[in-house]
Amino acid sequence: MIINELSTVRKSNRYEVLKYIFSHQITSRIDISRSLNISKMTISSIVQDLLDEKILIEVFSESTSIKAGRPIRSITLNDQYFTILGIDIGVNHINLIAYSLTGDIFYTQNIKPTDIVNSIYVIDTIITMVQECMELALKDKIVIGLGVGLGGIVDSSGMVINSPDLQWFNVNLKELLDQRFDFQIEVDNCTRLMLNSEIHKNPLFTTAPDKNILFVNIGYGIGSAIFLNKEIYSGISELGHTYAGGNIKCFCGSQGCLETLASGNALEQLGSDLVGYQISGSSLDNLAREGDVEAQKIYTHLGEHLGISIANVINIIGIDTVILGGGISNSYDLFHSSLYKKCHQNVINVLKPSLQIELSVVKNDSVLYGCFLKILFDFFQK
């Protein structure tokens, strides 16, 4: 019993040590001991284990703190021995990144899928991408795990219950990939993974950890994830498939969903209807910036729809801050004022003064970085 308790404490200390080193990059045993309030002897023992396991390496600093002619021994994560893979599946892309333990990138590959609704094709493509990556860039490295992110409802077992944009139903993605690889596989909703990246990169989560936060991913579709009571809510959060008006049929089978009015896909439809030929979201953005009033109105309406729907969530949960991410958030200046105005109008009075809407601080590869963090922190807990 006592041995079990000791081993639990040691495991917990080891996890805290690894988290500390990840966030400080290069540090020393003495700094870890002081910051975590754990004895120097315990820290030395944990660090020695981690050095033996090649998770840490020692670096010798030539700094002014040289004592008795000896350079000080600092420690850092070993960024050459282990690797973590992330895969982001979207309607128009399958992207892969191989990360080091410190989050540096070893390898990237981006593919434009030809048959995204066919889950078998997508799984075969992922397997080929991972095998190519391992052969080309990771021959001398140990793969810890692979995280996969995609839009839709994904349960805690890695089963994709329904991905409206990909048209997938009950695809047991984790199990199918588990059969092919002998490292850890995790599958999660892409917006939850984006929120995971945000938590590690946005100072807001450190300065105000008690805030309840709604993260809205405005991309091809609209995803949402909630930071509630200091953790990512693991249940369903599908803001894009709440009713927002009209009767346009949605990929989910319903009609009038927010996604039919305010997503990247909806913008492209509205823009194409406006100019009379197929245009991309970025072309519509350019048109609006060049002063085209009708194009500007499309963004104004997009902001209004988002504002009302976001206000509904704020009123139900008591959200303190809304963070917007995804490709369409790059056009935020075109719809910021209509979104804020409608949101402010519709939140309950008690929440109006504290209403805060911000842009995500993570600009690139936030789904993939979220995959990396998910696998990394699981690894730290082992």
Listed ranges 46-54, 138-146, 238-246, 291-299: which one lies at the site for Zn ion (CB under 5 A): 238-246
Q: Is residue 261 involved in binding Zn ion (CB under 5 A)?
A: no
Smallest separation (angstroms) from Zn ion to the CB of 254: 5
Question: Which range, of 57-65, 126-134, 257-265, 362-370, touches Zn ion by CB under 5 A?
Answer: 257-265
Question: For residue 359, what are the CA distances in angstroms to 265, 306, 328, 339, 356?
Answer: 20, 14, 11, 13, 10
To Zn ion, the closest distance from the beta carbon of 143 in angstroms equals 36
Per the listing, tokens 């309840």 go with 212
Measured at the alpha carbon of residue 195, what is the angle toward residues 193 and 200, in degrees to the nearest 5?
100
Query: What is the rounded CA–CA span in Å between residue 289 and residue 333?
Result: 10
Distance CA 32, CA 7 (A): 20
Question: In this complex, which beta carbon is closest to Zn ion, that of residue 212 or of residue 254?
Answer: 254
Q: List beta partners, residue 88.
A: 95, 149
Min dist CB 251 to Zn ion, Å, is 6
Nearer to Zn ion, 254 or 346 (CB): 254
Minimum distance, C-beta of residue 93 to Zn ion, in the bound complex (Å): 21
Q: Closest approach of Cβ 269 to Zn ion, in Å?
A: 14
Binder among 173, 257, 313, 322 for Zn ion (CB under 5 A) = 257
Residue 250 sits in the site that holds Zn ion (CB under 5 A): yes
Contacts of 22 (CB under 8 A, 6+ apart): 77, 101, 102, 376, 380
Q: Does 153 bind Zn ion (CB under 5 A)?
A: no
The label of the residue with tokens 């990237």 reads 108
Stretch that binds Zn ion, among 4-12, 72-80, 250-258, 373-381 (CB under 5 A): 250-258
Separation between Cα atoms, residue 234 and residue 310, nearest integer Å = 19
Size of the site for Zn ion (CB under 5 A): 5
Decide if residue 252 touches Zn ion (CB under 5 A).
yes
User: Cα separation of 312 and 342, whole Å?
Assistant: 11
Q: Which of 192, 241, 305, 374 binds Zn ion (CB under 5 A)?
A: 241
Cβ-contact 296, 334 below 8 angstroms:
yes
User: In the complex, what is the shortest distance from the CB of residue 165 to Zn ion, in angstroms, rounded to a whole number?
Assistant: 10
Report the interface residues with Zn ion, using CB under 5 A. 241, 250, 252, 254, 257
